[in-house]
Amino acid sequence: MWMIYTIGFIVSLGLALGLTPLVKRFAHKVGAVDVPNARKVHTRIMPRLGGLAIFMAFMVTFFLVIPFLPIDLTSRELNFIKAFLVGGTITILLGALDDRFDLPAKLKFVVQIATACVVVFGFDIKLEFANIPFHTYASVESWIAIPFTILWIVGVTNAINLIDGLDGLAAGVSAIAIGTIAVMAFLMGNVIVALISLLLLGSIIGFLYFNFHPAKIFMGDSGALFLGFSLALLSLLGFKQVAIVSFLTPLILIGVPLSDTMFAIVRRWMQKKPIFSPDKGHLHHCLRELGFSHRQTVLIIYAIAAFFGILAVIQSSAAMYNANWVTFVVICVMVFFLQIGAEVIGLIGKTKRPLLDFFARLRMKAGAERGSK
């Protein structure tokens, strides 16, 4: 089994390395390019469609290795594979068309909802069990599971797009999240999720060779949407087969784009701006303003994503043994560092630092008491 995993990872990586330059030339030929503007960091026209290289490397490798899988797949596992392949194909086509023609946001949203419905109703893929902290896991009613699953797929599909602002950022964060899923899948004995995760990981790393700063190609919406869709299914639905993953684990896995979105909503609300209005207050913008270089900013966010990945593994392992106290500790650690980090970096605003101000007052009070003695 390990031989299949290893060969699959190497083949997908090699294919991505070979296919990405071809996709780059194809993007230039069909006009799928990204033109600089005031909100973008790059200063020259860049080819998009990089997601096609990731997708093709994954698909070719998957169909090469799946016949050699030394296990009999259950009907549920087959449904999961079909849902992943069909939904992923629809998503990559939508993203590729958007890279070329800049499709209206409403049209993309409708297609994403339709794709999620295909996954849920066509292949019966939905949340079935939830392990709520401080409760035993239990089945979830369909009237809750179906809309939640559709919302989850659409939401996470778009999440990666929110952090796709620097060379190699979205691809690297996705690789870290998918690598974390692979680790959890191995721990849980989920062969299919582990295999798909490793093949995706190889494809992303191969593409990242051309996408890291200074990038030669962007993955575009084709890559961001496909990787978001992949994360949506792998982080939540893939683990329903063992029914022990905590409800919190998939949220932690996408901690970087999720927290960036959350702080953006709070920031715009406090500034009395429309919630969906673009700005330069995202995590990568704030780090650049602090003086970090392009590469340093990306590596810092990689470290943050890895931190979330470690928390996800700890949380998932704790959920397997109903160690609810670990869940509580993970939540407290995550919330504390999120708030401190947001205030230091300036994600909410330059003057909104309630926790840092509180600690500053405590230090001043302690200093005053020492001085009076």
Q: Rounded to an integer, what distance in angstroms lies between the CA atom of residue 239 and that of residue 312?
A: 13
Pick the closest to residue 53 from 80, 32, 84 (CA basis). 32
Any known ligand binding at 167? no
Q: Rounded to an integer, what distance in angstroms lies between the CA atom of residue 311 and that of residue 319?
A: 12
**Signed CA dihedral, 40, 44, 45, 49: sign only:** negative
Q: Rounded to an integer, what distance in angstroms lies between the CA atom of residue 251 and that of residue 257?
A: 10
Which pair of tokens denotes residue 109? Answer: 């949203």
Any known ligand binding at 79? no
Which residue is associated with the tokens 């909410």? 348
Helices 220-235 and 75-101 cross at an angle (nearest 10°) of 160
Reduced DSSP (H G I as helix, E B as strand, rest coil) percent helix, strand, coil of the chain, to 5? 75, 5, 25
Burial 49-87 (b: 16+ CB within 10 A, else e): bbbbbbbbbbbbbbeebbeeeeeeeeeebebbbebbeeb
Which residue is associated with the tokens 């997908």? 12
Which residue is associated with the tokens 């849902």? 83
**Annotated binding site for Mg(2+): which residue ranges?**
161, 221
**Annotated binding site: which residue ranges?**
161, 221
